[in-house]
Amino acid sequence: MDVLASRLILRPRERDRSLRFYRDVLGLAIAREFPGGTVFFLGQGLLEISGSGGPGPSPDQVLWVQVRDVRAEFEQLRERGVTVLAEPECKPWGLHEAWIADPDGMRIVLVEIPSDHPLRVDVRNL
């Protein structure tokens, strides 16, 4: 398979509330808007908020977001009133993680990859 692009699509219970969260609280930039939906830039991928969903996300779903400074991002988000699930900490596998939730309960893990970790690649410098 030759994958050209990828997009995660969320169907929130309250679209406007989710738009405010991802745009105003997380600060994601809008890639495009269309009737009934908004697409945000999410690193090298896209996040679409469109339609309406059921009772909430599966507890098995997690949005993984790599950031440069997990503690700084976490503190800013806490100040903005996000739901905190777990404080920043270094995990046994070497990643620094903090967990938050969106308004529908979608779990979001903020991840900082230390400079000496094997996963560390900043594609902007390639």
CATH number, domain of 26, equals 3.10.180.10
CA–CA separation, 99 and 107 (whole Å): 7
Of the candidates 62, 102, 97, which has an alpha carbon nearest to the alpha carbon of residue 80? 102
For residue 42, being part of any structural domain is answered with: yes
For residue 97, being part of any structural domain is answered with: yes
Q: In the predicted model, is pLDDT for residue 22 greater than 70? A: yes
For residue 90, being part of any structural domain is answered with: yes
- Identify the residue with better confidence: 77 or 53: 77
Q: In the predicted model, is pLDDT for residue 48 greater than 80? A: yes
| Tens digits of residue pLDDT in 82-105 | 999 999 999 999 999 999 999 999
Side chain identity at 45, as an amino acid letter?
A: G
Give the model's pLDDT for residue 56.
72
Helix (H) or strand (E) holding 107: strand 107-112
CA–CA separation, 109 and 103 (whole Å): 15
- Find the domain containing 41 and state its range: 7-120
For residue 16, being part of any structural domain is answered with: yes
CA–CA separation, 29 and 5 (whole Å): 17
Total number of domains in the chain: 1
Q: In the predicted model, is pLDDT for residue 4 greater than 80? A: no
For residue 62, being part of any structural domain is answered with: yes
For residue 126, being part of any structural domain is answered with: no
C-alpha gyration radius of the chain: 15
For residue 1, being part of any structural domain is answered with: no
CB 21 within 8 A of CB 102: yes
Give the model's pLDDT for residue 126.
60
CB 101 within 8 A of CB 108: yes
Side chain identity at 126, as an amino acid letter?
A: L
Range from 12-26, 45-59, 69-83, 111-125 carrying the lowest mean pLDDT: 111-125
For residue 39, being part of any structural domain is answered with: yes
Give the model's pLDDT for residue 39.
98
pTM score, two decimals? Answer: 0.87
Classify the phi-psi angles of 27: left when phi > 0, otherwise alpha if psi is within -120 to 50, otherwise beta.
left
Average pLDDT, the chain: 91
